[in-house]
A and B are shown apart, each in its own frame.
Chain A
Amino acid sequence: MQVKKPWWQSGGVRIALALVLLILFGGAVSGIYLSQIPPEQPIAFPHKTHVALGAQCTYCHPAAAWGPNAGLPGISKCWGCHQQVQKKSPELEKLAGYVQRNEPIPWVPVAIQPDFVKFNHQPHVQAGIACETCHGPVSQMTVALPQPRQNMGWCLDCHQRMRPNDFVRLSDCATCHY
């Protein structure tokens, strides 16, 4: 004798339910992937304040002009100004602490590619690409935010757009992976 199945056991409902769950899960994953959750930094360094003061990006990240890594400023560069800056705050207490102990500040990387990607700032800066093109509106940021979707397609898209005649060199695996 055929027993009538309750509605939630019918195939159609189950498939529909599975689809809804899958879509919700996929949305959550891509939401996490695309969100810009900044990592916890030892000192909440505000780019906004400092860029508004007129400090150039290359004053604190000078090596972008000549090397592969832009570099982060050391405590002596911070202290050069903050010795004079009168303002006191918990964040600046932490800075004073590092300076007193003569310790480097253990900044957590934000803009970072995997180990197997060999990026070089110098050709990009020389080609006149603004830092903000790749790092987002840093001058508005209170803490450095990671930029989403900076994958291989992003690099190659720009290379093809800006240097179509050099694309053989700029799409060669050995340019970025070795």
Chain B
Amino acid sequence: MAEERPAKWGLVVDLDRCTGCNACIAACSMENNVPFVGEDEVAYGRALYWIRTQRYWEGEYPAVTPTFQPVMCQQCGNAPCEPVCPVYASVHSEEEQINLAVYNRCVGTRYCANNCPYFARVFNWFDYELPEPMRSYLNPDVTVRRRGVMEKCTFCVQRIVRGRQKARAEGRELRDGEIQPACVQACPAEALVFGDLSDPESRVSQLARSQRRYHLLEELGTLPRVTYLKGVGNHGG
């Protein structure tokens, strides 16, 4: 059996490449059974998305250009959401080095979301029923959340666990790029790169050492696992 090395999963978002197409959001919602809440609920501020694209305008009208920044859970190494949960539903995974939302443990106090500086956590305000044929689209690998449960980006932990179990079954180590969350898989511009940060040779580690790197709200000391590469306007944008 291959020697085990605990992974430290990380994501790099290259803002030079992001075109703001929102394919990551669609892929994420389909993969993770994120319900579509409808326009009215969104207007009440009850939108359910695990990724959002923040759009900024640069320049003065008419010479304005948009820039986009996809924001998902930053999987902080020092996460503000974790110590505030009264029932330990928001826990740190020692194995995968990410933050978990254990849905069946959650009682819906929403402390975690209120303490999240990235607004990455969303709440199921209602049970969102799916019309009949749509139920067949649900991903059986992901729990369908109930009303009153907090949820967020998990780095598609179902894919991480499956990939790890598959590699163990075949008695080999995981290959770089073998595990891809849905958003990374869907990104047409390859703006998102996922991999193991503990391996200095992996593609994600190499990109995370780029000079353009920065973390969101770095000054808070949350040690995010998501690294952004500043857009410098070389590739459009």
Chain A: residues with CB nearer than 8 A to chain B?
66, 114-116, 118, 120, 122-123, 126, 168-169, 172-175, 177-178
Contact = CB atoms under 8 A, between A and B. Distances in A.
Contacts, number: 54
A173 B93 contact: yes
Interface residues of B, number: 23
B168 A115 contact: no
A123 B161 contact: no
Interface stretch (B10-18, B43-51, B99-107, B200-208): B99-107
Contact of A177 (B104, B144, B160, B168): B104
Given A116-B104, A118-B141, A169-B95, A174 B169 contact: no
Nearest to B91: A173
B95 A168 contact: yes
A118 B158 contact: yes
Contact of A115 (B100, B144, B165): B144
Contacts of A120: 165
Interface of B: 91, 93-96, 98, 100, 102-105, 141-144, 154, 157-158, 160-161, 165, 168-169
Contacts of B141: 118, 178
A168 B93 CA distance: 9
Contacts of A178: 100, 141-143, 154, 157-158, 161
Residue of A118, A123, A172, A174 contacting most chain B CB atoms (<10 Å): A174
Residue of A115, A172, A173 contacting most chain B CB atoms (<10 Å): A173
B168 A123 contact: yes
Contacts of B157: 174, 178
